[in-house]
Structure 1
Amino acid sequence: MINDKKNWKKKISLFLTAQMISLFGSSLVQYAIIWYITLTTTSGFMLTISTVCGFLPQIAISLFAGVWIDQYDRKKMIMFSDGIIAMVTLLLAVSFFLGYREIWLLFIVLLIRSAGTGIQTPAVNALIPQIVPQENLMKVNGVNSSITSFIMFISPAVSGGILSVITIEATLLIDVITAFIGIFIMFTLNIPSFVKKKDEKQTTVQGVKEGFLYVKDNPFIKRLLLFLIAVMILISPAAFLTPLMVSRSFGPEIWRLTASEMTFSAGAAVGGLLISAWSGFRNRMHTTILACALYGGLMIGLGIAPLFLVYLGLNFLIGITMPIFNTPINVLLQEKVNSSMHGRIFSLVQISSSCALPIGMMIFGPLADIVQVESLLIVSGGCVLLVALISQRHVS
């Protein structure tokens, strides 16, 4: 254990490097697949199917993935999910090289890739506290958030540039190569398991039930999940409807939509570095609630922004608030939840977030055809501020 304490910085550096390489390849290919479907079919219906295929499996498998993450070696779970994603992507590339370019093949691959992500994401969050001392969790989670945001920032441009030079099948191979590198780095890491298997005969269903009972018996986790769901529903207009607002109010040019996405991702990368350097308030929830309040105020700002440049500036600031909101939540769960339950709780957090945003769109999406998006941003931003105020009273 002493050696582990001394070597944790080297281990987490290699671990984050492996995840960064793997995520970069996956992001490039994910954009490439979606753009290929868009350009090949020019069908909104097909694009909707691809979105569903890339979204629903994460929700469906996360419930069970949490149990597997708590029962088996988390490092091996990450390597396994990464390997499965790489294998199906390789099979798709081979199929395309041989001339079989059916769209339904892309949908199947998106389904499997999404399921793999549903395993990998909570496994990564559960594994970090096995490597990192508790007092350094905020810094490491902040760095991880910044890396993810930076990849999301550069992936669309890099993927577009690659697709303009090489074919889709050659682009698919990038994910295979980066996954292999990531798996190799993970294989070299010696990460002892801190998770004790309480019951070797426990079924997956029993494990899922145990996870829900854990939340039921833990008022703090329960309130935290409800808080997260409420905020995710209310911020959905900022997450999904701003491209519509930009198109309607500032102009339908592609560069405007691209600038909107890139400023948010750039802000999120800066926010990850900020929370890593600052580490937030001693009370983790105070940091999250502050970010929540700032997000609500900035949503109102988006709704009244008179110029596109002002909108971009506010969008950049919103991006900064996201890691400051999310990172303390991850750290709180890593600190307060039993190690044997990390997988299930992080899976429930992923399910909550993944379900809340579509619910928000079911509410605000149709309203966007009746009222201005700006009005929705102002109202929902005010509600986010209200949630922050109520939550602050409960943790004070």
Structure 2
Amino acid sequence: MSTVDVGAGWRRNAALFVTGQTVSLFGSMIVQYVVMWYVTLQTRSAIAVALYAVAAFLPQGVVSIFGGTFADRVNRKALIIAADTSTALATLGLAFLMMNGVTDLWVILVACAVRSVGAGFQQPTVQAVIPQLVPQEHLLRINGLFQTIQSGLALLAPAVAGAVFGAFGIVPAFFIDVVTALLGVGVLLLVTVPTLDAVAGRTTGFREDLVEGARFIQHHAFIRWLMVLFAVIIVLTGSPSFVTPLLITQEWGGEVWLLTALEIAFSVGMLLGGVAVSTLLAKRSRIRLIVLSSFGFGVFSLGLGLAPELWVFYALMFLFGAMIPIFSAPFMTLLQEAVPPEMQGRVFSYVTIVMALSFPLGMVAFGPIADALGVRALLVGTGVLALVVTGVAVLVPSGRSAMRAAAASTPPAEVAAQVEAEVDAG
């Protein structure tokens, strides 16, 4: 695999990049919470929440097809700045509309869709930039640290969102997002991002690049296995988690503080999980962490559907949140280690597509099920399915080879080649 010379000042660059992106993400998190709560409290309908999920994630998934390819063809720093700026402008426009009394659901959904387009360019590009800034031997630690910082902000974001939304309404939260986006862009301007030789000398067409990314995933058994497992876990546990605020509202009341407490429990779990990945688990097998957290998602989703008391529900959301960085940091690190730098934008675009499309498509199915059978039945059913699918994943040829590589303590950079060689040998 080709490598990138990150330079002697990589720590400064990485610190500035992580700082700028988490500041920008903080404002986006606040908007995500307040809009989700606003739709939940105003409609009390799983279908309306599903429509919000579609607007917030479907455009991102569609645009990510092009976003990652652009990330492999243009200056990645400039692409992130353009995406962040356009998202801030969409938020500012929605704020002015709602200040003037335009509060129709479809207007909010359109604004969410525009924001989602910006995220479709930004997210795969951010993941592709990190290996340009960080030496390979520090990738898991930096990814875990990035996840920990984001989790800390995720802990703060619902508290800030709840305080602002409860005291002043939804519009002030939009202005916070605009300010944090501008700050993120300002910090990013200070970061030096190396230009890849493959980008500077690219002669292939856009369509060829896009197809090449899909072929790369299809022809590499280990990458394909990771992507399929990721997609299934996101669909079966990510989408139903979007309706947990609805369950709180239906069974324990519609006060904002109850929804805030739910998000704080989830975010504390993410924070501690991120700390564990960047410290205690930094030397552990990436593959084992992914499989362990996949089983954890199924167990805790099932538990959420059966929780008899509110405090039990919060405790399970804490544990569910802890599984997020234990899954995502090793997953991203394995891809960064196994995929050549000049291909990473395209590959991470498909990661973003999976993540973005699985939420709205899952909610299209799960929203009506939640309204018809109840949120609890949905959580139980998807938890059981997640356990079954994870069990199957470790039994298929790619999964068995990956587990053997983990048991043999195969160096991370060699895992993909070993799995693919074993699968090709039959």
User: Which SS does the other structure have where 2:193 is aligned?
Assistant: coil
Which region of structure 1 is more displaced relative to structure 2, 325-334 or 279-288? 279-288
User: Does the 8 Å CA contact 2:40/2:246 hold for their aligned counterparts?
Assistant: no
Counterpart of 2:142 (choices 140, 145, 150) is 140
User: Which SS does the other structure have where 1:200 is aligned?
Assistant: coil
Q: Distance in 1 between matches of 2:205 and 2:176?
A: 37
Matched, 1:218 2:183: no
TM-score by length of 2: 0.81
Deviation of residue 319 (structure 1)? Answer: 0.8
User: Does the 8 Å CA contact 2:158/2:264 hold for their aligned counterparts?
Assistant: no
The 1:213–1:81 alpha-carbon spacing in structure 2 relative to 1, beyond 3 Å, is: same
Deviation of residue 105 (structure 1)? Answer: 5.5
Counterpart of 1:24 (choices 23, 26, 49) is 26
1:162 paired residue number:
164
1:116 paired residue number:
118
Q: Deviations over 1:205-233 (max 9, x none)?
A: 22211111111211111121111122223
1:299 paired residue number:
301
Q: Distance in 2 between matches of 1:25 and 1:122?
A: 19
Matched, 1:251 2:244: no
TM-score by length of 1: 0.86
2:408 paired residue number:
none
Q: Distance in 2 between matches of 1:251 and 1:267?
A: 22
Deviation of residue 47 (structure 1)? Answer: 6.4
**Correspondences of 1:47-58 after superposition (within 5 Å):** 50-58=52-60
Q: Distance in 2 between matches of 1:17 and 1:309?
A: 34
Deviation of residue 93 (structure 1)? Answer: 4.9
Counterpart of 2:208 (choices 206, 209, 214) is 206
Q: Distance in 1 between matches of 2:59 and 2:207?
A: 18
Q: Distance in 2 between matches of 1:13 and 1:309?
A: 37
Counterpart of 1:354 (choices 331, 351, 356) is 356
What are structure 1's unaligned runs of at least 5 residues?
Answer: none
1:339 paired residue number:
341
The 1:68–1:185 alpha-carbon spacing in structure 2 relative to 1, beyond 3 Å, is: same
CA RMSD of aligned residues (A): 3.2
Which region of structure 1 is more displaced relative to structure 2, 100-109 or 297-306? 100-109
What are structure 2's unaligned runs of at least 5 residues?
Answer: 404-426
Letter in 2 for 1:331: T
Deviation of residue 33 (structure 1)? Answer: 5.2
User: Percent same amino acid among aligned pairs?
Assistant: 34
Which region of structure 1 is more displaced relative to structure 2, 114-123 or 359-368? 359-368
2:419 paired residue number:
none
Letter in 2 for 1:63: I
Deviation of residue 374 (structure 1)? Answer: 4.0
**Correspondences of 1:1-396 after superposition (within 5 Å):** 4-32=6-34, 50-93=52-95, 99=100, 101=102, 103=104, 106-163=108-165, 171-194=173-196, 196-197=198-199, 200-236=202-238, 238-247=240-249, 250-254=251-255, 255-280=257-282, 282-369=284-371, 371=373, 373-393=375-395, 394=400, 395-396=402-403
User: Does the 8 Å CA contact 2:239/2:360 hold for their aligned counterparts?
Assistant: no
User: Does the 8 Å CA contact 1:195/1:339 hold for their aligned counterparts?
Assistant: no
Deviation of residue 246 (structure 1)? Answer: 4.2
Deviation of residue 2 (structure 1)? Answer: 12
